[in-house]
Structure 1
């Protein structure tokens, strides 16, 4: 099984204006590009399947892909907001399974026992379970996660000229995100 990003988030949990306030740079625009780059890096470090949190921060779509039917498909991220089940039939035509043929329980899609599993085209992504994950509104992202993003981006900005040695670390970062980390199975 593979886990792939289908649709990236279009919003961020923290914006440039918040970061500029945090680093006391609200009164000039000279560093906006570099601040945005550090903000994007901090969000990317935490967000999504490969992020250190192993969860979706803002609304995005991820697919669990498989080449054969199974009783259930689990998305190792949360929060799950919705799901759709698609497959490629024997003629390699994409089909959508009606939502009456499965149920979502937490992060797991369970096929109904009465669901007749159709034959599949031989391809690695013959089945795609597309999960909609993340928060719709940045206000719904936990404050601790947003604070950690600000700390990381500000640390990158403050120490951008560092040569040699260890990269800047703020012990508060790990304390803030530890309750939200998701360990992948």
Structure 2
């Protein structure tokens, strides 16, 4: 079964780390505008967060959509943790249909989250478009307060590296990379 790349549907609400906290924690030149610092903070968060982030997981709650060419008894989702999912499809008549939530469950194993269809679910005839099945999923720790502090420290370390007298590469922060391995998506 083929699948599309996940697309962000609803971005996280609020900020992971306030600009005031960042200013207190990093060596930010006082003559630089706040917009520069905010841009670097945003870049550091994007480096870690979401489908394309190096952690392969969502930090704050956000909603993503992914499309599939069909159904299988179990469909692997792109994030470690998914708290809920809604599944829809376009049937052979070209009409959009929703799968009742009692016909599937969202589960997790060592590889991450997946949707498992219960035995009562009968695979419907699908429209002949490329990706007639859509899964909309909610993923993330919750609010900024729920995100582990170690991840917030990593964001601060990345931001600080950008303003050091001897700037380092973002991906060349061995202590940060080492600390982040416990939060990474594992693909077996």
- Calculate the TM-score normalised by the size of structure 1: 0.86
- Write the distance in 1 (CA, Å) between the matches of 2:154 and 2:15: 14
Question: How far apart are residue 118 of structure 1 and its match?
Answer: 1.7
- Write the distance in 1 (CA, Å) between the matches of 2:23 and 2:127: 52
Structure 1 segment 12-91 matched on structure 2, within 5 A: 12-23=15-26, 30-91=32-93
Determine helix, strand or coil for the equivalent of 2:5.
strand
- Write the distance in 2 (CA, Å) between the matches of 1:139 and 1:9: 13
Determine helix, strand or coil for the equivalent of 1:178.
helix
Determine helix, strand or coil for the equivalent of 1:78.
coil
Question: How far apart are residue 23 of structure 1 and its match?
Answer: 1.9
- Write the distance in 1 (CA, Å) between the matches of 2:183 and 2:70: 32
CA contact (8 A) 2:87 2:98 kept: yes
* Unaligned runs of at least 5 residues, structure 1: none
CA contact (8 A) 1:65 1:124 kept: no
Structure 1 segment 136-155 matched on structure 2, within 5 A: 136-155=142-161
- CA distance 1:75–1:31, shift in 2 (3 Å): same
Question: How far apart are residue 24 of structure 1 and its match?
Answer: 5.4
- CA distance 1:123–1:77, shift in 2 (3 Å): same
Determine helix, strand or coil for the equivalent of 1:2.
coil
- Calculate the TM-score normalised by the size of structure 2: 0.85
Determine helix, strand or coil for the equivalent of 1:13.
coil
- CA distance 1:12–1:75, shift in 2 (3 Å): farther
* Unaligned runs of at least 5 residues, structure 2: none
**1:130 aligned to 2:136?**
yes
- Write the distance in 2 (CA, Å) between the matches of 1:152 and 1:69: 41
Question: How far apart are residue 30 of structure 1 and its match?
Answer: 4.6
- Write the distance in 1 (CA, Å) between the matches of 2:40 and 2:184: 21
Question: How far apart are residue 158 of structure 1 and its match?
Answer: 2.9
**Residues 141-163 of structure 1 deviation map (CA, whole Å, 9 limit, x = unaligned):** 1111110001001211335x96x
> Which 4+ residue blocks in structure 1 deviate beyond 4 angstroms?
none
- Write the distance in 1 (CA, Å) between the matches of 2:145 and 2:31: 25
